[in-house]
Chains A and B, each alone.
Chain A
Amino acid sequence: MSNIIYSIYEIIMVVLCVLSLPPIFNSWRDTKNRMYIAIFTLTLGVMSYSIINLLTYLFNVDTTMYLIGGLRFGYILGYMLATIQFEFMLYLRRLVKFYSVPFIIAFYLILGHILVINAIPFIVYLTFVGYIPAYMLLRDGKRKHNGLAFGMGLLFLLWGIGQTIPVTIVVEIFRTIAVFMFFLGSRGFYEKYLFPHKEVEEKIMGTWISKLVVKD
């Protein structure tokens, strides 16, 4: 029963990701900014993660089982997403010389899990890859009034918080909310309601004041 509920969450996440893709693609088509391709890829990564999770729930695959040594199936999925996330951050910061780092770190951490049964490297790495980009994206998104960046910051933050609570249903809820926040960002929700344009703000103020004046 619980697997069916988890599967529903995963389906919702896949749908939200699919709905986020067209506006990102349109933005890329209009601006030809390669950053949108990176965001598009990240969204595909999040979607793939949900699809794999969905399949594990449908086929009753235990992601906590050890594959070889101390390596769990769940770790591989986690590193896959962390690599995409980390790569995305390096791309945002234009750190071209460090593009190979996420792959090398994931490779050695997976190798380390095979050799030693210890979850700490996984937790530490995911914390590092999750919270630091979240902070940077939220800060930049707020400063530059960029709803997409802000949405991505919320995605990383809520996703990260969810992962720290080792209860599957809580993790699923946090992830779904995180993807929903990202979906809102891709649809321009934050620009419209959270960061209204200065001119629009003044217009609203002006209208409000003029109405007061007319009333008086």
Chain B
Amino acid sequence: MVEDVFTTTIAHLGYSLNLIIIPIAAILVGIKLYRERKANGKFNYVRMTIFSIFAAFSVLVIFEFLVNVPVEKSPFLVQIFGTGFEGFNLYTFLIGLIASLGLTLISIANKWESMYYASLFFYGGMVILFFLTGFDEFLMPFVYISGGASIVFLYLTEFRIRDNGALALAIFFTIAFGSVAIDIEIVTRISVLLYEVVLIIYSLGFFKPFKQEVAE
């Protein structure tokens, strides 16, 4: 009973903090991106990708909050967002998009130019095929494989090019995907709080284990 109350409290705390912290993190990264663009006259593609990941994640947590909040809501909203990993819905679409952007970030950070948008094109193809034929069998394997590959390559990239953004995202992805893979309620709830802490530190610019930033 006490454990249930504890888990529920952490869950509510996690959802509520997600709703505030992740959009703020996205806005902070967006502001940095805009300032850099203004100062140098060109985009930092690494930061642009990180911003896209946070923006997609913000949309995800806002919808997640709206669907889970205990008030009456439109069945359309619940239907379009979905309730988990069952075929294509807004939730799985955004998870897939984040995983694809993870691979994009790796390609950009490693300067594999011909692979920059390959994962996004592949994912886009999957979405178009779903709308035309209803086929979505590749979605979950894609999410798991690209999520796993993102984590592994982000760590490798971070060690190779010593980039703060890659390291922060590597830790973020490890906690986020790790909690989904482990699937124990208490672990998931605590993980949400943990990655929020990582996001706050990174987006405020305090996460600088490496002095030099990667610029594309």
Contact = CB atoms under 8 A, between A and B. Distances in A.
Interface of A: 96-101, 104-105, 107-108, 111-112, 115-116
25 contacts: A97-B113, A97-B116, A98-B117, A99-B114, A100-B114, A100-B115, A100-B117, A100-B121, A100-B122, A104-B118, A104-B122, A104-B125, A105-B125, A107-B125, A108-B125, A108-B126, A108-B128, A108-B129, A111-B129, A111-B135, A112-B129, A112-B132, A112-B133, A115-B133, A115-B135
A107 B123 CA distance: 12
Interface in B123-165: 125-126, 128-129, 132-133, 135
A69 B113 CA distance: 36
Interface size band for B: 10 to 19
Nearest to A108: B125
Given A96-B113, A115-B135, A104 B129 contact: no
Contacts of B117: 97-98, 100
Given A97-B113, A108-B129, 7 more contacts: A104-B118, A104-B122, A104-B125, A111-B129, A111-B135, A115-B133, A116-B133
Contacts of A107: 125
A16 to B, nearest CB: 31
Contacts of B118: 100, 104
A112 B129 CA distance: 7
A104 B113 CA distance: 16
A96 B116 CA distance: 9
B148 to A, nearest CB: 20
Nearest to B113: A96
A112 B135 CA distance: 9
B100 to A, nearest CB: 12
Contact of A101 (B113, B121, B128, B133): B121
Contacts of B128: 108
Nearest to A95: B114
Contacts of A98: 117
Nearest to A100: B118
Contacts of A97: 113-114, 116-117
Contacts of A116: 132-133
Interface string B97-123: 000000000000000011111100110
Contacts of B132: 112, 116
A100 B113 CA distance: 10
B107 to A, nearest CB: 10
Contacts of B129: 108, 111-112
A121 B192 CA distance: 44
